[in-house]
Amino acid sequence: MEGKSSVARSSIVVGSATFASRLFGLLREQTFAYLFGAGTATDAFVAAFRLPNLLRDLFAEGALSAAFVPVFTEHLLNKGKKEAFRLANLVINGLTLILTAIITVAIFLTPYLVRLIAPGFSRIPGKSELTTLLAQIMFPFLLFISLAAISMGMLNTLRYFAVPALAPVFLNLGMIFAGFFISPLFSPPIIGMAIGVLIGGLGQWLFQIPLLIKEGYRYQPLFSFNDPGFKRILVLMTPAVVGLASTQINAFVNTIIASLLPEASPSYLNYSLRLLYFPLGIFGIAVATVTLPVVSSFAAKKDKVNVLATCRSSLELVAFLTLPSTFFLALAGRPLISVLYEHGRFTYIDTVATAQALLFYALGLFFFASVRVVAQVFYSFQDTKTPVKISFLSVGTNIILNLLLMKPMSFRGLALATSISAVINFTGLSLLMTKKFGSIDWNAWLKAIGKIFLASLLMGIAIFGLDHFWPLNLPNSSLKIKILHLIYLLGGAALVYSIACYFLKIKELTLLWRILRQQEKD
């Protein structure tokens, strides 16, 4: 029986692969910071990338995965691998036609979309036009990333997690390569980064193909919009487009409002959000990625008890990994950002502003990750409508809070609003999950979370004390000293958190230690 140990073991695999991907992601952001800093070109790219990135979450890694994996799992368990692969081909071919049409229309509408998402850019000559050009170049990325998402769903269902988790490395490699070797060929150079997005997206898809071929998959040009499985996926995708994309929509709204704030505000939000994605991807999304095929398998067997048990253990694992990350990002954000970004045109002033945005984003880290886990329960039972109800509330809350907080808190208020909306999203989903499928024993869960929070709080106090024991003058310190200071804070934090978890008898520490020791023996 697949239980907590199975999810944790697979999460370590996905988390490790995602860690490598996020490292390259940081290198990509460092490339951005070094070459373009925080200004007009970066603002334009951030806003432009929001357009295909929003559609990416709507049609690819979010809604498509949520709809495809449960149906593909059902076919695999009940009809065999041949029929499951046939369904995959129908989805690949049908989706390619649909997305090609969407991309074509989006490219023609880009100038109007840019006016919608970044109305403030028109105040600076040429900024809206540059944003339009970059978005038009990057729109085909949507097709590549959707094909990559289908490949990922197939491999995850077949219990291959490492290769799909490593695939995003190619997106980062494509952009890093473009920054140094393609950007110099264009004027303005930021155009090269848009081309790098296309190169990286194509690589992310192609990297997964050999393993699928090894498993027996063969591409076939099959088309049937009347196939029950294909129609079921389209039906499930429609509400999931809104349900799972609430976080991306919130970021989209932030971009609109950030364009009305002082110059570089979109850049500060983007750099801080990218740092948040580091632990969110390694810990939160890794657990959610593993949880979906596991609970889908239980749901296909109508085993509701194990679905809820897996959900609870996954939420506790998410808390064990993300709550200490929240304290570290909030308290050590400035030295972390200084080491990673403060090079070239990225100044100390940019470091301070980015750290402030990161602080407020970090408050919602646990909830960003937990929303993905709870949503998987609904998707495993092929219910994509229920999460939509909460996503509307979440997005509405985010918009209202953005408008209320943008003046008194500037870009910081936008980050705080996103975190608060994530809290509402998680709370609403959890209440509806309990009502529809049953309780995960929330009282016991809260006790477990309380112990993890206490251990994280003790770690936070330790970071505060360590930083005062060895204070660092960031603007005047060398990169070597900054790195040593960051290692000092990170090592001390990890040690204190581990000791606190040991004495508080937090079972996730023992579980992960046992899995790691078993992997060493293997």
pLDDT at residue 249, rounded to an integer = 64
Q: How confident is the model at residue 242 (pLDDT cuts 50, 70, 90)?
A: low
Q: In this model, does residue 519 exceed pLDDT 50? A: no
CA distances for 378 relative to 67, 417, 505, angstroms:
10, 26, 32
The DSSP call for residue 180 is I
DSSP code of residue 50: H
Alpha carbons 479 and 147: distance in angstroms, whole number: 41
- What pLDDT band is residue 200 in, cutting at 50, 70 and 90? very high
What CA–CA distances, in Å, run from 335 to 350, 463, 487?
12, 12, 10
Work out the mean pLDDT of the chain and round it to a whole number: 85
**Residue with tokens 């990350």, as numbered in its chain:** 325
At 197 the three-state DSSP class reads: helix
Q: What angle do CA 244, 250, 255 make, to 5 degrees?
A: 135
pTM of the complete model: 0.75
Question: For position 120, what pLDDT does the model report?
Answer: 79
Query: How far lies 264's CA from each of 48, 343, 411, in Å?
Result: 15, 16, 10
Tokens 């695939």 belong to 167
Within-domain flag for 368 = no
**Residue at 317 is within a domain:** no
- Beta-carbon contacts of residue 258 (< 8 Å; ≥ 6 apart): 265, 266, 269, 411, 414
Query: How much of the chain, in percent, has pLDDT values that exceed 90?
Result: 41
**Does residue 21 fall inside a structural domain?**
no
Tokens of 223: 């088309």
Average pLDDT over residues 239-267: 70
pLDDT at 137: 95
Instruction: For residue 402, give Cα distances in angstroms to 52, 74, 96, 265, 363.
Output: 23, 41, 36, 14, 16
Please say whether the beta carbons of 70 and 295 come within 8 A: no
The residue written with tokens 């998987």 in the block is: 376
**pLDDT tens digit sequence for 433-457:** 999 999 889 999 999 999 999 999 9
Q: Is residue 80 part of a domain?
A: yes
Phi-psi region of 334 (alpha: psi -120 to 50; beta: other; left: phi over 0): alpha
Collapsing DSSP to helix, strand or coil, 215 comes out as coil
For 122-131, 288-297, 353-362, 443-452, which range has the lowest pLDDT when averaged over its residues?
288-297
47-71: average pLDDT:
76
Provide the number of structural domains found in the chain.
Answer: 1
Q: For residues 147 and 13, what is the distance between their CA atoms, to the nearest angstrom?
A: 22
Contact 387, 243 (CB under 8 A): yes
Q: How many residues does the chain have?
A: 522
Going by pLDDT thresholds of 50, 70 and 90, the confidence category of residue 60 is low
Q: Does residue 264 contact residue 43 with C-beta atoms inside 8 Å?
A: yes
Token pair in block for residue 463 = 């970071």
Residue 164 corresponds to which tokens in the numbers above?
Answer: 């799909």
Structural domain span for residue 208: 37-244
Per the domain annotation, does 97 fall within a domain? yes
Lowest mean pLDDT among 79-83, 236-240, 257-261, 402-406: 236-240
Residue type, 123: R
The residue among 58 and 160 whose pLDDT is bigger is 160
Residue 128 domain-assigned (yes or no): yes
**How does DSSP classify residue 122?**
G
On whether the CB atoms of residues 451 and 504 are closer than 8 A, the answer is yes
Residue 151 lies in a domain: yes
Residue 279 lies in a domain: no
Specify whether the CB–CB gap between 368 and 347 falls below 8 A: no
Cis peptide before 387 (omega within 30 of 0): no
Q: What is the model's pLDDT at position 51? A: 79
Q: How far apart are the first and last CA of the chain?
A: 21
